[in-house]
């Protein structure tokens, strides 16, 4: 598939998870076959006001491309100005967040709150599209709540405003991340627009990815929580869909090897102090399903240095 003029070669993308989809994790997922990655959402006002923390989130490395930066905000002019600045970091795509359910984001009128104002969604896309040369995409939800299921309407408005693709998460803002995602709304959007549609929600295995393709006819699937502690899900999807055969089960030894590689990158980009604090949650995800997982998760919450993690991992491999 193509997003504008950007070629996407593969079957699954990494979702823009705040506090998780940083450079280290995006690179790792790309190593395992993620065909496209989207960075953590960045405040448009933070960018315009020259926030160092916001600008850092725009940084991309060559090994993770094709990659998008994702902006959030609710003011078309501010979003356009932020997009101009973001474009200087050479993203392949600029994505607009219209789906985040976090109260802090919603209370400002951004994220999934935009689903309540389809016309404003279109105005934002128009403003950003006119401000930059790279393709502009949007990520939306099923709707705001059960009484306002309007993903099809919003997707059509965004397409008309110039969006090059739309990602649909199959839940309303009211539902947050529960219950089961509604894949039928993804199918409905796909049938209603002529731009690529990326399906998102409840994909934790390669088999589920294949099922989403079959039931929705989407152009690409996007993996969020299913990739936590499990970056090889992209390899598994590639093997099943691209080569029609399952991958070999991942051994504990490989899990530990990948975890250490992941945390080394975290420390490289954020320094050991901050990197190891980030590593605690990732280690807990990697330990899921292992013998004594509960104890391992508890111990991972106490690690201070990279060497501490290495010593903990030695007890698992042995």
Indicate the domain borders of the chain: 2-243, 252-317
Only one residue has tokens 């003011």, namely 75
Only one residue has tokens 């869909």, namely 241
Q: Count, in order, helices (H) and strands (E) of the chain.
A: 14, 10
Q: What are the φ and ψ backbone dihedral angles of 110, each rounded to 5 degrees? A: -100, -175
Fold classified for 2-243? TIM Barrel (3.20.20)
Active site residue 107: no
Only one residue has tokens 């309303």, namely 172
* The listed CATH number (3.90.1570, 1.10.1200, 3.30.70, 1.10.10) that belongs to domain 252-317: 1.10.1200
Q: Which of 29, 74, 100, 218 is catalytic?
A: 100
Sequential pLDDT tens for the chain (318 residues): 999 999 999 999 999 999 999 999 999 999 999 999 999 999 999 999 999 999 999 999 999 999 999 999 999 999 999 999 999 999 999 999 999 999 999 999 999 999 999 999 999 999 999 999 999 999 999 999 999 999 999 999 999 999 999 999 999 999 888 788 999 999 999 999 999 999 999 999 999 999 999 999 999 999 999 999 999 999 999 999 998 888 888 999 999 999 999 999 999 999 999 999 999 999 999 999 898 999 999 999 999 999 999 999 998 865
């Amino acid at each position: 598939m193509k997003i504008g003029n950007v070629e996407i070669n593969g079957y699954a993308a990494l979702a823009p998870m705040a506090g998780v989809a940083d450079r280290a994790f995006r690179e790792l997922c790309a190593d395992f076959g993620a065909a496209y990655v989207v960075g953590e959402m960045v405040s448009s006002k933070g960018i315009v006001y020259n926030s160092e923390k916001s600008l850092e989130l725009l940084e991309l490395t060559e090994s993770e491309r094709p990659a998008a930066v994702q902006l959030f905000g609710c003011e078309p002019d501010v979003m356009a100005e932020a997009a101009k600045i973001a474009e200087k970091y050479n993203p392949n795509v600029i994505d607009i967040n219209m789906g985040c359910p976090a109260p802090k984001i919603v209370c400002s009128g951004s994220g999934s709150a935009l689903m309540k104002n389809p016309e404003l969604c279109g105005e934002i896309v128009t403003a950003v599209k006119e401000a930059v040369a790279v393709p502009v995409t949007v990520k939306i939800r099923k709707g705001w709540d059960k009484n306002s299921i309007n993903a099809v309407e919003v997707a059509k408005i965004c397409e008309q405003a110039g969006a090059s693709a739309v990602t649909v998460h199959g839940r309303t803002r009211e539902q947050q991340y529960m219950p089961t995602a509604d894949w039928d709304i993804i199918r409905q959007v796909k049938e209603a627009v002529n731009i690529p549609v990326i399906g998102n929600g409840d994909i934790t295995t390669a088999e589920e990815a294949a099922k989403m393709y079959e039931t929705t006819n989407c152009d690409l699937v996007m993996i969020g929580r299913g990739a936590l502690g499990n970056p090889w899900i992209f390899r598994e999807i590639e093997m099943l869909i691209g080569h029609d055969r399952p991958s070999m089960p991942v051994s504990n030894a490989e899990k530990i090897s990948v975890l250490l590689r992941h945390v080394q990158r975290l420390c490289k980009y954020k320094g050991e102090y901050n990197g190891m604090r980030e590593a605690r949650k990732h280690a807990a995800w990697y330990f899921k399903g292992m013998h004594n997982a509960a104890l391992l998760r508890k111990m991972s919450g106490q690690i201070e240095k990279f060497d501490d993690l290495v010593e903990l991992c030695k007890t698992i491999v042995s």
